[in-house]
Amino acid sequence: MENKSLEYKREYLDDIRYTVIAFANTNGGTLYIGIEDNGHICGVADPDDTILRVTNMIRDAIRPDVTLFTDVNTKEMEGKQVIVVSVQRGTARPYYLAAKGVRPEGVYVRQGSSSVPASETAILNMIRETSGDCYEDARSLNQQLTFNEATTYFARKKVPFGEKQMRSLNLIGADGTYTNLAMLLSDQCVHTIKLAVFEGSKKTIFHDRRELTGSLLTQLEDAFAYIDQHNRTRAEFEGLERQDTRDYPPEALREALLNAIVHRDYAISSPTLISLFDDRIEFVSIGGLVRGISYDDIMLGVSVLRNQHLANIFYRLRLIEAYGTGMLKIHECYADSVNQPQITITSNAFRITLPNMNFAAHHVEGYSTSIQTPVLERQKAVLQLLDTRDSINRKEIETTLNISQASAVLLIRKMLQAGSLVKFGNGRNVRYKRK
């Protein structure tokens, strides 16, 4: 009597592969070829040929390799030769038809005495059971992946990207199948980046919006190009000299974008969001801080990677220089700015807000770019102050000139751009001296 772990076949048929997959994905079982559904033993005419067909089928039609968990032999029953296919529960589930991939139409499980397509939930559960909790290492649901964009990117960076490298980079797992990491770099990546430009400082009126698809490497380049296109340059004149200032420091934009891509939680299906306003730009990525890490830790440069293999690839491509330095670099870019970058963390999201440096500079109370005389007088006063000491800091300038912090920051920036001051030190220890 057929049941969950026992099945009869009168003769070899192609649908035997469904049974082998189902047994390997469930709790194992035994398939007899040469026995009718009612249990009548009819035997097989050519046992050797049938064994060859079964073993070839198992080797060629099923992925990952399940041959270690199968055994095919002949057995004499009532004077007739019967083929016995024993299948154990595999350790690399889900097993699937190579031609169909890791989809319900390719993955089968046992249900009673039948082999039926697995639900998507059942497939994901099998992947979690055999791959652990690491999203990168888990087997990709889509095994029909192409890497045209990634191949071009690696070639441009002069980094090898053949099958050997794909295995060492963990794009191909130990069972020979593509991992989720491979899916992220493939042309079929299911995750996207959404960008939007808003009028003013609220999400009320759209100026433009775009959704980026394809390999994460392509999305990275396209996102930076889009942001850079909207990173305006404001020109000012110091006498006859023209001074150009970008709305956002390009290095800060780069680090914020890389952080949003490298550290997000790809196990959650939601796009990375980048919103540009008149006064700021926001990067929102899914996934809060990795367990055990606090805001203070990341500000000190502590780095615990959620996507270790993805970060390693970005490191090899020279997109990131060292782990844990991104936040420090961002804050260094704004060391002399009135408004500082802001980080907002929730249980499932991480947001970096970069202020528009030109917006802050030209919206400080009492400041006008058309009135140069007070600025020149203040610059002269700073230089006179340096006649009495080797170096000064921002606070000393505020106190001596009796001006606000914002005005002091603007004054220092203009003098740095003009070349009359030189900055040294970092963070709170930043000081200035004559060039």
- Any domain includes 309: no
Q: Are residues 78 and 200 in the same domain?
A: no
Examine the domain organization and report whether 50 and 104 are in the same domain.
yes
pTM: 0.64
349 and 222 in one domain? yes
Residue 222 has pLDDT above 90, yes or no: yes
pLDDT above 90 for 26? yes
Inside any domain, residue 66: yes
CB of 95 within 8 A of CB of 63? yes
Which residue segment(s) compose the domain that 346 sits in? 193-290+320-361
Q: Are residues 396 and 247 in the same domain?
A: no
What's the CA gap between 16 and 6, in Å, rounded?
A: 13
Do 278 and 244 share a structural domain?
Answer: yes
CATH number at 108 reads 3.30.950.30
Answer for the pair 161, 50: CB distance below 8 angstroms, yes or no: no
Distance CA 230, CA 405 (A): 28
Give me the DSSP letters along 56-123.
HHHHHHEES--GGGEEEEEEEETTEEEEEEEEPPPSSPPPEETTT-SSTTT-EEEETTEEEEPPHHHH
Per-residue confidence at 306, pLDDT binned at 50, 70, 90? confident
State pLDDT tens for residues 412-422: 888 888 888 99
Centre a 10 Å sphere on the Cβ of residue 276 and count the other Cβ atoms it contains.
20
pLDDT band, very low/low/confident/very high, at 79 (cuts 50, 70, 90): very high
pLDDT band at 267 (very low <50, low <70, confident <90, very high): confident
pLDDT, residue 249, reads 93
Nearest of 104, 95, 84, 108 to residue 4 by alpha carbon: 108
**Same-domain status, 327 and 430:** no
96 and 45 assigned to the same domain: yes
Domain match, 202 and 226 both = yes
Co-location of 53 and 21 in the same domain: yes
- In angstroms, the CA 380 to CA 374 distance is 10
43: CB partners within 8 A, 6+ apart = 34, 77, 80, 81, 82
Among 110, 130, 150, identify where a domain stops. Answer: 130
Question: Domain containing 382 — which CATH number?
Answer: 1.10.10.10
Residue 162 covered by a domain: no
Beta-sheet strand order (sheet of 193-198): 206-212, 193-198, 272-276, 280-286, 349-355, 342-345
With residue 220 as reference, give the H or E element that holds it.
helix 216-229
> For position 371, what pLDDT does the model report?
37
My answer on whether 120 and 204 are in the same domain is no
Q: Is the pLDDT of residue 364 over 60?
A: no
Q: What is the mean pLDDT of the chain?
A: 87
**Quick check: is 385 in a domain?**
yes
Answer for the pair 39, 63: CB distance below 8 angstroms, yes or no: no
Which two tokens mark 394?
């921002």
Give the CATH number, domain containing residue 351.
3.30.565.60
- Phi and psi at 376, nearest 5°, equal -65, -40
- Predicted local distance difference test score (pLDDT) of residue 240: 57
Residue 351 inside a domain? The answer is: yes
Both 333 and 205 in one domain: the answer is: yes
- Specify whether 328 is located in the same domain as 413: no
Alpha helices in 387-431 (DSSP H): 394-401, 405-418
- State the total domains in the chain: 3
Q: Say if residue 231's pLDDT is above 90.
A: yes
